[in-house]
Amino acid sequence: MDKRVLRERMRRKKRQMMIRHYTKIGLCVIGMILAVVFVVRGIIIPIAHHVAGGGSSDQTVQAQADTEEVQANSDAAVRQPLKGKSDTDKIAAMTAGWHEDANGKWYQNTDGTYFSNGFQDIDGVTYSFDENGYIQTGWVEKGVKDYYFNEDGSYDPSKVRPMLALTFDDGPDPDYTEMLLDGLKKRNVKATFFLLGKQAEAYPDIVKRMHKEGHMIGNHSYDHVNLANLSKTDAAKQIWMTSEAIHKITGEYPQYLRPPFGNEPPECSCAKNMMTVLWDVDPLDWCCGSSSTVIEKVVKAVEEDDIILLHDASESSVEAALGIIDALEKQGYEFVTVDEVIFE
């Protein structure tokens, strides 16, 4: 082959390779430019805009979330979508205002929503709506407070539940105290436990549970002796050892003392720093095997602000205590710890 032809072919080949090379470089440059544009427009500009105050939509969403959180944590009712929306006949008949069906009475707003799960003022009157949007009557519990609503659903601030205090001596018992605690928790009732020091030391986990679940813990001496028959030194030792045992478990010293048999100890420094708490009603549950008899005695004898003496060392006593709660709550009583009865 002619050398001139060969050299020409080589020059064309070289030009083609150079074209391909620069084409690749150009594509790379274009790609880099596009990447920079993407970063600037997609990341840098939005950040700068947000810093400069352009994130109003995000702030609106956050504000809405904050409002919803506050509303969820309050006692105020919340608005729900139109009630009975799937029932076309019902929708046609709906107007703003009060409505009633087989389940109760409820209120529809002008925008088609209804109130549920909280309190709401309507025309100057406060109502309580359940989770399904129906008004509630009678006693309604919100947190640690009870509110009374009349038959027409209106709130009556003049009505306050009469209070009672349930107290339990001689515990904790390894077999029955936790059964009692289960029943109290189920009923959302707080009680007062006057503990023996030796029992507290033996069953600290039960004492921890009492304290954790909001019950009040008091001192009932170390091993249930008649403190009135002891010297000041020995009586003080009974009280001090028990208070130390309770403090070691709960981190708190008891403020209330119930001396065994109701006999106050001789004057001593330990007792001076504590309030003695006796009782108003004693059904003698510890010697009566029938829980129904104990319940009947208490229900007949009890009056507002009474302190009831019981024990947590037998199944019948536990059954009686829970039965007393169920019976007297139906009569409108509220069960509290002794400090609330004493200082109310």
Distance CA 113, CA 129 (A): 13
Contact call for residues 196 and 221 (beta carbons, < 8 A):
yes
Q: Higher confidence at residue 270 or residue 95?
A: 95
**What confidence score (pLDDT) does residue 28 get?**
74
Residue of 192, 219, 336, 341 lying closest to 275 (CA atoms): 219
Q: Global pTM?
A: 0.65
Residue of 147, 145, 209 lying closest to 181 (CA atoms): 209
Distance CA 224, CA 200 (A): 13
DSSP string, 84-112: TTT-HHHHHH--SEEEEETTEEEEE-TTS
Query: pLDDT tens for residues 242-297?
Result: 999 999 999 999 999 999 999 999 887 677 789 999 999 999 999 987 999 999 99
Query: pLDDT tens for residues 181-211?
Result: 999 999 999 999 999 999 999 999 999 999 9
Mean pLDDT, to the nearest integer, of 220-249? Answer: 96
Kindly give the pairing relationship between strand 104-108 and strand 97-101: antiparallel
DSSP 127: E
* Catalytic sites, residue numbers: 169, 311
Distance CA 159, CA 166 (A): 22
